[in-house]
Chains A and B, each alone.
Chain A
Amino acid sequence: MLKRRWAKVLVFAAGLAPIFWLCWRAWNQNLTANPIEFITHYTGDWTIRFIVLTLAVTPLRRVLGLPDLIRFRRMIGLYAFFYGTLHFTTYIWLDKFFDLPDMLKDVAKRPFITAGFTAFVLMIPLAVTSTAGWIRRMGGKRWQRLHRLVYFTGIAGVAHYYWLVKSDIRLPAMYGALVGVLLLYRAAVWGMKRKSGAAVKRPVSAISPGALRDNP
């Protein structure tokens, strides 16, 4: 089922649903009394959700025994970047009105902005090199190493959210726990591999260009 073409179309549509919902609410003038804040929070929420989802793909493949989930990882990751870009745009446009000096001051002075900015910037090279062509050019191993930057995006994203809330930390704590579990899983796998001594290479198929195509 996961191998089917429509599965990918379905995931693609699901990823667009939040932005369509936002547009629908905007059209109906239903963006609360503070629309700019609402858009900022909404796009931020979806960014971190997609980051968690993309981090969940590898563990879920193994735990659930569904290796074909890999077909959706790039798309989910790109959606994280998409919503992150919207979130960032809302900030520089609707919050800062492109006041670059003020923005840089923010980035330097406010830890939550610094963290959010870091999380976003780290996603840029990943989005750029997300194509099959780039995997080929870089070689699977180097490509994979680069894409581990997403771990730091996850951590910085959670820190951004945690430092932003006034006192109700339940949601950032939840995302923190999710990212924590997903990273611990990787640490555990890595640790076990080291312990077993067998330098088992990751199955190349997980990251080969072919694996990302529709019909491997």
Chain B
Amino acid sequence: MLIKKPADIRYSEITPKQIYMNRRNFLAGAPAAFLGARELLSPSARALAGTKLPDVQKSKYTVDEKQNSYQEVSTYNNYYEFGTDKSEPAVYARNFQTAPWTVSVEGLCNKPRKFTMEEILALAPLEERVYRHRCVEAWSIVVPWVGYSLSALLAKVEPAVRASYVAFETFFDRRQMPHAAGLQFPYVEGLRMDEAMHPLALLCTGMYGETLPPQDGAPVRMILPWKYGFKSIKSIVKIRLVGSQPATSWNGANPPEYGFYSNVNPQVDHPRWSQASERRLGEFRKRPTLMFNGYGDQVASLYNGMDLKKNY
């Protein structure tokens, strides 16, 4: 980042005292605070990306595979709000305003509330998890994401027993996203409650040890490594606990092609192309796609007794 020193605004003025008093959380929240200050000083400033996230712990949920480069992961994006060509988000999301940012967690729970980005960053220890990421378009990447299990956030609002699904919503503003096309916006996604509570379901705030760049879903997104990439919703503003299966964007756009579950499954082809193999970015030959993207040991039990051909 260009700005190395704190701006002319006291951290305590823009951060709740509770967080200010906690050293670790203070450090975790610092990048967002810088961002807030910077935005105040220069409203047209670029969204802050690439700020180092402090105190990131290594996670046991890590695959030992060659990671893709930051360059690859940040220039090859499906983020239709910023254009439908995969090279477009890196260009059109450049000025995306990601601060201030709040995520509203609401619906069937005892303590619905809004979380500021500072609060989200400080809510649980940040972990680095190297996950495989498989796009429905049959390419894949390996990325060191930063974040923590979504369950930590959901626990804060105390979901009601009736809450059986979680619905997510992406920020949408036509003014900031004039190139949005190809889908109905805002983008929405959903998970069954047990999927959302699964430890692998990552509430992601960074990659490569830094805050997310806007084209990768800044400032906060989901990462669901056993599902096709489009399930991993970006730039979340709303999380809603609901009693029935919520609508999801790609399913709404084309129900026969994109199901609610969309688990990675080499045996169930996309109606128009095979899902049996994938191209790992940077590799010449295709490689076979793994059931649940290789996360079967952890997640297969979630789908016991389900016909995965029907529930694609």
- A interface residues, Cβ below 8 angstroms from B: 32-34, 36-37, 94-95, 97, 106, 110-112, 163-164, 166-168, 170
Tell whether, in the assembled complex, residue A33 and residue B181 are in contact, meaning their CB atoms are under 8 Å apart.
Answer: no
* 9 closest Cβ pairs, A-B complex: A168-B182, A33-B76, A168-B84, A33-B72, A167-B182, A33-B281, A167-B253, A168-B181, A34-B281
- B interface residues, Cβ below 8 angstroms from A: 68, 71-73, 75-76, 80, 84, 86-87, 137, 139, 181-183, 250, 253-254, 272-274, 279, 281-282, 284-286
Tell whether, in the assembled complex, residue A170 and residue B273 are in contact, meaning their CB atoms are under 8 Å apart.
Answer: no
Tell whether, in the assembled complex, residue B181 and residue A32 are in contact, meaning their CB atoms are under 8 Å apart.
Answer: no
Q: Which of B84, B183, B285 has the most CB of A within 10 A?
A: B84
Decide if the interface of chain B is mainly helix, strand, loop or mixed.
Answer: loop
Residues on the B chain within 8 Å of A97, using CB: 285-286
- Interchain CA distance A94-B286 in the complex, whole Å: 9
Residues on the A chain within 8 Å of B71, using CB: 33
Tell whether, in the assembled complex, residue B76 and residue A112 are in contact, meaning their CB atoms are under 8 Å apart.
Answer: no
- Interchain CA distance A127-B181 in the complex, whole Å: 38
Q: Known contacts A110-B273, A163-B272, A167-B253; decide if A34 and B139 are in contact (CB<8 Å).
A: yes
A19–chain B nearest beta-carbon distance, Å: 20
B289–chain A nearest beta-carbon distance, Å: 14
- Interchain CA distance A32-B85 in the complex, whole Å: 11
Decide if the interface of chain A is mainly helix, strand, loop or mixed.
Answer: helix
A40–chain B nearest beta-carbon distance, Å: 11
Tell whether, in the assembled complex, residue A32 and residue B76 are in contact, meaning their CB atoms are under 8 Å apart.
Answer: yes
Q: Which of A32, A97, A170 has the most CB of B within 10 A?
A: A32
Q: Which of A97, A111, A168 has the most CB of B within 10 A?
A: A168
B143–chain A nearest beta-carbon distance, Å: 12
B213–chain A nearest beta-carbon distance, Å: 14
Residues on the A chain within 8 Å of B286, using CB: 95, 97
- Interchain CA distance A37-B286 in the complex, whole Å: 12
B122–chain A nearest beta-carbon distance, Å: 33
Residues on the A chain within 8 Å of B86, using CB: 32, 34
Residues on the A chain within 8 Å of B285, using CB: 97
Which of B80, B183, B272 contacts A110, CB < 8 Å? B272
Q: Known contacts A97-B285, A167-B183, A168-B182; decide if A32 and B254 are in contact (CB<8 Å).
A: no
Residues on the B chain within 8 Å of A94, using CB: 284
- Interchain CA distance A95-B72 in the complex, whole Å: 20
- Interchain CA distance A115-B183 in the complex, whole Å: 25
A189–chain B nearest beta-carbon distance, Å: 36
Can you add 14 more A-B contacts, CB < 8 Å, to A97-B286, A110-B273, A170-B181? A32-B75, A32-B76, A32-B86, A33-B73, A33-B282, A34-B76, A95-B286, A111-B272, A163-B272, A164-B272, A166-B254, A167-B183, A167-B253, A167-B254
A12–chain B nearest beta-carbon distance, Å: 30
- Interchain CA distance A37-B278 in the complex, whole Å: 12
Residues on the B chain within 8 Å of A170, using CB: 181
- Interchain CA distance A167-B250 in the complex, whole Å: 9
- Interchain CA distance A37-B281 in the complex, whole Å: 10
Residues on the A chain within 8 Å of B282, using CB: 33
- Interchain CA distance A8-B75 in the complex, whole Å: 39
- Interchain CA distance A106-B138 in the complex, whole Å: 15
B169–chain A nearest beta-carbon distance, Å: 19
- Interchain CA distance A17-B1 in the complex, whole Å: 39
